[in-house]
Amino acid sequence: MAANASSDKEKALTSVLTQIERNFGKGSIMRLGEANRMQVETIPTGALTLDMALGGGLPRGRVIEIYGPESSGKTTLALHAIAEIQRQGGVAAFIDAEHALDPYYAENLGVNIEDLLISQPDTGEMGLEICDQLVRSSAVDLIVIDSVAALTPRAEIEGEMGDSHMGLQARLMSQALRKITGNIGKSQCTVIFLNQLRLKIGVTYGNPETTTGGNALKFYASVRLDIRRIQTLKKGNDQFGIRVKVKVAKNKVAPPFRVAEFDIIFGEGISILGCLLDIAEEHDIVVRKGAWYSFEGVNVGQGRDNTIIRMKEDPEFAQKVKDLVMAKLKPEAIPIEPGEEPILPPVEVDLDAIDAQAQAAVEDAEASTAEEKATKTKSRSKAKK
């Protein structure tokens, strides 16, 4: 009895799956085991410490939000991601809603400004529509929107100064994300939203900070990065950079709540060698004793800044440290003994038989439907008599 019920359910399932594929196309529904599963591809951020915290980098085909106070490194981080995707041969776009992009600074960070697509939209609707069209083209690998707070709705721009527009930007963002998210997954385009902080009014306990644009972006984003400036780097009385801390506030593709720190040098961007030195010290590849850093028992620099300068001046030394760091971070493969290798028999698949079975299931389902209709018609005619 149970076997018959199971067989009927399997026939019904095959029937409905076949019908769905006829109506919506092949691949519109499938078993997860049949899908082409693979690890989520990532884009390097330029900061090795942050890549480790993210589980490899920024995921492709996802929505990402980077938020924080002013001058904390949001745009710098996004420009480094653009530079990395361009090095891999990808296409990047920058939607400059703030109208504040500095092309010379972007070029210093390694961005190829000749190939970078840039748009400075007049309204929030225009900026998000451009983003949607770029995503649907499947020709762009990375889009940066700077920033959500500057995506001003058309009604607000055309209205008078002082007019109240309650929730207008939140509704705009919610509608745009509903449209864009599905296309992002198909095109494998990564969209980075940069966002600003605001303070909630009347909050006595808890964190009064919130991001602009409503709550929709918090839900649609696969990764949310909270970036803060924690230290100003000085040489004597001259300031030459900042040290920032990034907290992974949300991550759907790797463990969240990890923290990374790195230096941003004014005019140069993220200190790549500084990140490398931090990780090398963490894994005891470069050992720090007092103020001195030593590598393989030999002192290489007094103080962090001098060690980074030594790495700049000696590329072979820097490359050797990098190779050891990468070898340390790479997961170890578990060897399989020759006798333990699984030997699987070849599987023969008769596609004609499967098609015939599916067609028979459809015919059975149609026949049963016809019988049900006939039975209902008879019962109605009897009821009328």
Contacts of 280 (CB under 8 A, 6+ apart): 286, 321, 324, 325
Does 61 belong to an annotated binding site?
Answer: no
Does 236 belong to an annotated binding site?
Answer: no
Does 69 belong to an annotated binding site?
Answer: yes
Could you give the CA distance from residue 345 to residue 195 in angstroms, rounded to a whole number?
A: 55
End-to-end CA distance of the chain: 38
342, containing H or E segment: none
Does 167 belong to an annotated binding site?
Answer: no
Does 232 belong to an annotated binding site?
Answer: no
Could you give the CA distance from residue 263 to residue 231 in angstroms, rounded to a whole number?
A: 9
Could you give the CA distance from residue 358 to residue 242 in angstroms, rounded to a whole number?
A: 64
Does 71 belong to an annotated binding site?
Answer: yes
How many other β-carbons are positioned within 10 Å of the β-carbon of residue 181?
18
Residue 45: strand, helix, or coil: coil
Does 119 belong to an annotated binding site?
Answer: no
Does 75 belong to an annotated binding site?
Answer: yes
Contacts of 287 (CB under 8 A, 6+ apart): 281, 293, 294, 295
**Binding-site annotation: residue ranges:** 68-75
**Binding-site annotation: residue ranges for ATP:** 68-75
